[in-house]
Amino acid sequence: MKESWGWCMNKGQIVEQKRAFRDDQTVYSVHHYTNKQLFAVFWPYLKPHQARILMAVLALVLVAGALLGMGRGLAYLVDEGLGKRDPALLDRAVMATVMIAVVLAFGSYLRTSMVNKIGEMVLADVRRAVFGHAVTLSAGWFENARTGDVLSRITTDTSIVQTVMTSTLSMAARNFLLLVGGLVMVVLSSPQMSLVVLVVVPLVVLPLIVMGRRLRSASRLAQDCLADVGVEAEETVSAIRTVQAFGREQFVRANFERAVDRALDAGLKRVRLRGLLSGIVIFMVFSGIGVILWIGGQDLMAGRISAGDLSSFIFYAFLVASSTGFLSELAGDLQRAAGAAERIAQLLDTKASLPEPEIPQRINLDAEAACEFRCVNFAYPAALSLPAIKAFNFTVNAGERVAIVGPSGAGKSTIFHLILRFYDPLKGSIRIGGVDARNVSLEELRGHIGLVPQESALFSSTLRGNISFGKPEADEAAIIAAAKQAQAHDFIMAIEGGYDAFVGEKGVRLSGGQRQRIAIARAILRNPSLLLLDEATSALDAQSEAAVQSALENLMKDRTSLVIAHRLATVVRADRILLMERGSLQAMGTHESLMVNSALYRTLAELQFAVPKSN
């Protein structure tokens, strides 16, 4: 690939920068986490709840102890209460059983309430952290990430982990304690059982370890396939008008069904593994319990144990069997949660490619040069072989209005992306207010910039909320004033609900011109020192355009403004015009000078800026 992007490009530096950009193209870490590593990822969210976790553990021990105590109570009831035919002993035995049941009920309530509270609070913190981390990732990362997959990690995966934390995990811990305690009591009841236990336990644990790993991998694959289903649905619903306009309902339906089929296949594989694991474990457990019961029966008939001991022995044997059965069932849920937790951890471990400065500098609003591009080279991460900006140099003075023109793909929008620091240049620097943009915090940098894109982005909120999005602390009077300047107040008041009316998803209840005027009002209210306009009046009719253009004139007065222009009216009012082609600055000057000196500009003026002649 040819590397010469301009006279100021250093080949060694660009190779290093490209390598960094390729690293940024890795959407998620491909690292597979061990249980210990996953615990380390989630521990910061568990740590603030250590006291509650301790209480939940004590409640678990209390419940397990109460259940294990019932076995000895049963032996006492059979041998003393029933065997000796003593009503008083029988009453005491029943009362002891009732007291154990009370302790069991209280411990279960405490366990359930504490574990659920911990799970809800921890996962709320995890959701905040995942979403908060996602919105800090660079625009380059989102070029490669799929929206539906990101949303799946924030919603579906966290819900799976939450379910496990609030119920499955505590049930697994309780049954594990009962299994261990039951095994101990079985051995204490008859030392001969020790040999059987030593044989049965490894036979049960081995498939849990071996197949558990396969089940976790299958669960992870099933989650990925389910995320693909979400991606297909999200993309189709977001573009439903385009889908219907082109009559492609059957096409997107077929794509969705293929995604569902893949998710179904992955899910069925996970279910088969889970069922096989459960069947093997249960067979081994109950076979072992059968052997243990046979030995116990032999001891009873030989007089080596009492009927009460045999009863408690059977009770503990049943406890061991049921606990193992539960654990084999819960193993699938735990592995599924581990797969979901791994997906969450991968997103949390994704590093932001735009590092914040350790000691951020402040923008100098009084600087003579408001914005400078110094020998900038840049290519988008998804197309590193196609430079978007090459050897780009220009300076915008404070208070100056600069129009940027050029054919499609010339790099006009890229300039805005770099000024907003959605990306860092491969080579060179961008200075805002005399300071390198990389040495300014993103909040400080973007706080001085107002943007009105060609396609306005509105949120599923009220008109008031959308206007005040860039300045949420603004009062009602300021919001209304901004709307009036943007020629939006009249149509807002004509809508039922006025400023409190909801605009629908992405502003679907408004026309294109109305959405654009709301976006202009948002920029006016923000009152930025540097204004970026991507042909802000392109979606307006002639009457609205004239009114909004007047408002924009007032907004741009004595304010540094960069305008991507497609209309003659915008171009002729600019102090300077930058003519771009294929990422390079071809010419610079006023409309009149460029019409004389640039053939490309004359062509653009004739094709793009000309007013159609009436017949």
The more confidently predicted of residues 138 and 436 is: 436
SS3 content of the chain, % helix, strand, coil (to 5): 65, 10, 25
* 219 within 8 A of 132, measured Cβ to Cβ: no
Q: Which residues pair with 376 in a beta bridge?
A: 392
Decide if 548 is inside a domain.
no
Residue 23 has a pLDDT of 40
The more confidently predicted of residues 609 and 361 is: 361
Mean pLDDT along residues 91-97: 74
Decide if 466 is inside a domain.
no
Mean pLDDT along residues 74-103: 71
* 284 within 8 A of 202, measured Cβ to Cβ: no
pLDDT classification of 480: cutoffs 50, 70, 90: very high
Mean pLDDT along residues 561-578: 82
Question: Which of 348, 383, 408 is the C-terminal boundary of a domain?
Answer: 348
Mean pLDDT along residues 19-36: 55
Mean pLDDT along residues 510-530: 84
Tokens 């009002």, located at residue: 521
Residue 554 has a pLDDT of 67
Residue 608 has a pLDDT of 65
Whole-angstrom Cα distance, residue 70 to residue 100? 7
Any idea which of 8-17, 161-170, 476-485 has the lowest mean pLDDT? 8-17
Residue 347 has a pLDDT of 85
List strands edge to edge, sheet with 449-452.
Answer: 449-452, 530-534, 560-564, 401-405, 576-581, 584-589
Question: Do residues 23 and 41 both lie within one domain?
Answer: no
Decide if 499 is inside a domain.
no
Backbone angles phi, psi at 272, to 5 degrees: -65, -45
Question: Do residues 34 and 113 both lie within one domain?
Answer: yes
Question: Do residues 254 and 393 both lie within one domain?
Answer: no
Under the phi-then-psi rule, with left for phi > 0, alpha for psi from -120 to 50, and beta for the rest, what region is 107? Answer: alpha
Question: Do residues 50 and 17 both lie within one domain?
Answer: no
Residue 614 has a pLDDT of 41
Residue 151's nearest CA partner among 121, 124, 130, 120 is: 130
Most confident of 86-100, 358-372, 419-433: 419-433
The more confidently predicted of residues 14 and 82 is: 82
Residue 117's nearest CA partner among 165, 155, 172 is: 165
Residue 32 has a pLDDT of 67
The more confidently predicted of residues 415 and 550 is: 415
Q: How far apart are the first and last CA of the chain?
A: 51
Q: Could you tell me the residue range of the domain that residue 418 belongs to? A: 1-27+369-448+566-607
Mean pLDDT along residues 403-426: 88
Backbone angles phi, psi at 588, to 5 degrees: -150, 140
Q: How far is CA 601 from CA 192, 561, 591, 594, in A?
A: 98, 21, 9, 6
Q: Would you say residue 550 has pLDDT above 80? A: no
Whole-angstrom Cα distance, residue 127 to residue 122? 9
Q: Would you say residue 531 has pLDDT above 50? A: yes
Q: Would you say residue 92 has pLDDT above 80? A: no
Question: Do residues 420 and 327 both lie within one domain?
Answer: no
Burial status of residue 364 (CB atoms within 10 A of its CB: 0-12, 13-18, 19 or more): middle
The more confidently predicted of residues 593 and 286 is: 593
Q: Would you say residue 565 has pLDDT above 70? A: yes
Residue 107 has a pLDDT of 80
pLDDT, tens only, 182-211: 878 777 766 666 666 667 667 766 776 677
Decide if 227 is inside a domain.
yes
Tokens 């208070």, located at residue: 399
Q: The domain that contains 143 carries what CATH number?
A: 1.20.1560.10
Residue 311's nearest CA partner among 322, 324, 300 is: 300
Q: Would you say residue 615 has pLDDT above 60? A: no
Question: Do residues 111 and 188 both lie within one domain?
Answer: yes
* 323 within 8 A of 63, measured Cβ to Cβ: no
Q: What is the DSSP letter of 404?
A: E
Q: Would you say residue 114 has pLDDT above 70? A: yes
Q: Which residues contact 32 (CB under 8 A, 6 or more apart)?
A: 342
Decide if 134 is inside a domain.
yes
Is the pTM value of this prediction over 0.85? no
Any idea which of 305-319, 383-397, 552-566 has the lowest mean pLDDT? 305-319
Tokens 């870490």, located at residue: 29
Decide if 540 is inside a domain.
no
Question: Which of 285, 319, 348 is the C-terminal boundary of a domain?
Answer: 348
Decide if 458 is inside a domain.
no
Whole-angstrom Cα distance, residue 458 to residue 488? 14
Decide if 614 is inside a domain.
no
Question: Do residues 294 and 411 both lie within one domain?
Answer: no
Question: Do residues 48 and 10 both lie within one domain?
Answer: no
Question: Which of 348, 382, 406 is the C-terminal boundary of a domain?
Answer: 348
pLDDT classification of 219: cutoffs 50, 70, 90: confident
pLDDT classification of 1: cutoffs 50, 70, 90: very low
Question: Do residues 421 and 328 both lie within one domain?
Answer: no
Whole-angstrom Cα distance, residue 17 to residue 21? 6
Whole-angstrom Cα distance, residue 298 to residue 293? 9
Side chain identity at 320, as an amino acid letter? Answer: V
Element housing 394 (H / E): strand 389-397
pLDDT, tens only, 41-70: 888 888 888 888 888 888 888 888 877 877
**SS3 state of residue 432:** strand
Residue 54 has a pLDDT of 87
Question: Do residues 40 and 148 both lie within one domain?
Answer: yes
Q: The domain that contains 438 carries what CATH number?
A: 3.40.50.300
The three state secondary structure string of 479-527 is HHHHHHHCCCHHHHHHCCCHHHCECCHHHCCCCHHHHHHHHHHHHHHHC
Residue 373 has a pLDDT of 92
Residue 359 has a pLDDT of 87
Pull the structure tokens for residue 530: 């540097």
Packing angle, helices 169-189 and 87-134, rounded to 10? 140
Question: Do residues 21 and 40 both lie within one domain?
Answer: no
Count of domains observed in the chain: 2
Pull the structure tokens for residue 252: 């997107």
Question: Do residues 122 and 148 both lie within one domain?
Answer: yes
Q: Would you say residue 512 has pLDDT above 80? A: no
Residue 528 has a pLDDT of 86
Q: Would you say residue 83 has pLDDT above 70? A: no
Kindly report the average pLDDT of the chain as a whole number. 78
Backbone angles phi, psi at 137, to 5 degrees: -70, 155
Under the phi-then-psi rule, with left for phi > 0, alpha for psi from -120 to 50, and beta for the rest, what region is 321? Answer: alpha
The three state secondary structure string of 8-69 is CCCHHHHHHHHHHHHHHHCCCCCCCCCHHHHHHHHHHHHHHHHHHHHHHHHHHHHHHHHHHH
Residue 107's nearest CA partner among 51, 55, 182 is: 55
Q: Taking the CB of residue 329, how many other CB atoms lie within 10 A of it?
A: 19
Q: How far is CA 24 from CA 149, 351, 352, 382, 424, in A?
A: 17, 8, 9, 10, 12
Pull the structure tokens for residue 270: 């996970």
Residue 67 has a pLDDT of 78
Q: Would you say residue 519 has pLDDT above 50? A: yes
